[in-house]
Structure 1
């Protein structure tokens, strides 16, 4: 490669750096885990199976891959015997990164095991993702998540009381949507665990906690045909951002746990009021994002009494 920087070093085996400490992985058949920010955590967990030691390679998440990365990905796919992939649409970001497209580059006899993109809103019923219509990669300030209460306040709406049934309805709808996507796109499912969620099962709406990740990894190991021995590594795998979990939500879902009233962002405590104030000001400066969020999540806003 012409340029070797920190990112290139981090994914040294993917890029075929000769002095990479895991360069010996460049010789035999490999297992690739393809997907979003959840994929690297899943790779680490399934690699705990003895049959997969030394056979998994850290690759960039799909949203970071560029056209320059495609030759490196194709080099690995040519000798991949199992592609463990979340469903990625054809032509993702105008590149041939879709699950079906990558499967077409595998050697004869290689297998594809598809696993779900994990999203569940039950523990965070007000939390949503809104794409800026003018710049889809742009996030709001402080944390990369939106709160329907902040959206509603910026739009001049007055919050009414939220019944326990509304929280349960959000959780049920979120689990049903995950199950629908699993049935349509996946070989392995995990939505059954969210029938009775526990505290910590989701750190944000799209970052699962370790219990969920470990159980999904065991199911993937079984699907691959190796020992299902994934275990908690003793550290939070996707804990860069952890959202508050509020007492009424825990009570409505029957979860006996202490509420959390603050965010944790890269190890630092951030008050929920700080996030709310910063984002409300931002919506007033970016009204097109406010409009997009209010339109996309109109049904949930109404369900939660934000009318």
Structure 2
């Protein structure tokens, strides 16, 4: 598409990737609206996959693309991967590749599993084991959730260091794999290294909180020389739930003791660690879940 064609219409800002991309768009939207931009988010994970012709048209028309590393052959399609986006973007477009943020320090005991009607898609190995052993919710909370000595500081800091090292490894891989004049890599590892003990940066293993999202947005807008007047009040991915934060992790963090980090199950309007634990127990009982097997995942 020529430069004249790109400037004859509202500039399109295209976000493509997982739920983190939609969250970035929500935070960035006041700035983009003020610049009279069109915004479009294409999720890569929904059952209804966008067809190649429509996707190619969007990519080629976009003035700015914000995306993530997506492997070739993703979902059995030849056009959903990141290199396709780079190859089919307009010569004058800017492409920002953000990491798909995953950080296990806060919720090291959690894992992806079946989403039961009364749980998140995340489960907790210690909770599964407690349920399988016939322990009550109160016993799990006393022995694990609220036990500051359940894991040592050294063990937890090693998890954090491993997570940060993995973020750095992925960033370097992105710089090599997606090297192109139009591409800007948006890093996040140093931000985690600096702030992970001072803020709760993740709601779940792969749902970053607003501090992380705002950091990514700030880098993108600064590179574009756009205003930084973003929506700082919203925390988009909090709507999907907050995992349990064990007391041993809270002990390692340097946040004020009166700051609450209660777990939530938004779809049930359940808030608070005790209520969330009881909801998991009730769901496992109702659906006769083999929590012993689940804990071994």
Distance 1:68 1:39, change over 3 A: closer
CA–CA separation in structure 2 for the residues paired with 1:129 and 1:177: 19
* CA RMSD, Structure 1 to Structure 2 (Å): 3.2
Q: Could you list the runs of 5+ residues in structure 2 that have no partner in the other structure? A: 1-6, 135-142, 176-184
Return the offset for 1:284: 4.2
CA–CA separation in structure 2 for the residues paired with 1:172 and 1:52: 40
Task: Please point out which of 55, 58, 72 is paired with 2:37.
Answer: 55
Residue 227 of structure 1 aligns to a residue whose secondary structure is coil
User: Residue by residue, what CA displacement relative to the aligned partner does 1:197-237 show, whole Å, maximum 9, x if unpaired?
Assistant: 233321222111111111110012223x2225053442221
1:1-307 pair list within 5 angstroms: 27-49=9-31, 53-64=35-46, 66-95=48-77, 96-130=79-113, 138-141=114-117, 142-153=119-130, 161-185=150-174, 187-195=185-193, 196-197=195-196, 198-223=198-223, 225-227=224-226, 229-240=228-239, 241-257=241-257, 258-266=259-267, 268-270=269-271, 271-278=275-282, 280-281=284-285, 284-285=289-290, 290-291=295-296, 293=297
Distance 1:208 1:67, change over 3 A: closer
* Count of aligned pairs between the two proteins: 260
Residue 65 of structure 2 aligns to a residue whose secondary structure is strand
CA–CA separation in structure 1 for the residues paired with 2:54 and 2:253: 46
Q: Could you list the runs of 5+ residues in structure 1 that have no partner in the other structure? A: 1-24, 131-137, 294-307
Confirm or deny: 8 A CA contact 2:128 2:292 kept in the other structure.
Answer: no
Return the offset for 1:261: 4.5
Please give the TM-score of this superposition, normalised by the length of structure 2. 0.74
More divergent stretch after superposition (237-246 vs 152-161): 152-161
Confirm or deny: 8 A CA contact 1:283 1:289 kept in the other structure.
Answer: no
More divergent stretch after superposition (197-206 vs 153-162): 153-162
CA–CA separation in structure 1 for the residues paired with 2:280 and 2:58: 44
Return the structure number with greater relative CO, CA threshold 8 A, min gap 6: 2
Residue 78 of structure 1 aligns to a residue whose secondary structure is helix
User: Residue by residue, what CA displacement relative to the aligned partner does 1:16-75 show, whole Å, maximum 9, x if unpaired?
Assistant: xxxxxxxxx993432211110011121233344469733242323110263454333222
Return the offset for 1:111: 3.1
Distance 1:154 1:77, change over 3 A: same
Distance 1:212 1:168, change over 3 A: same
CA–CA separation in structure 2 for the residues paired with 1:101 and 1:239: 31
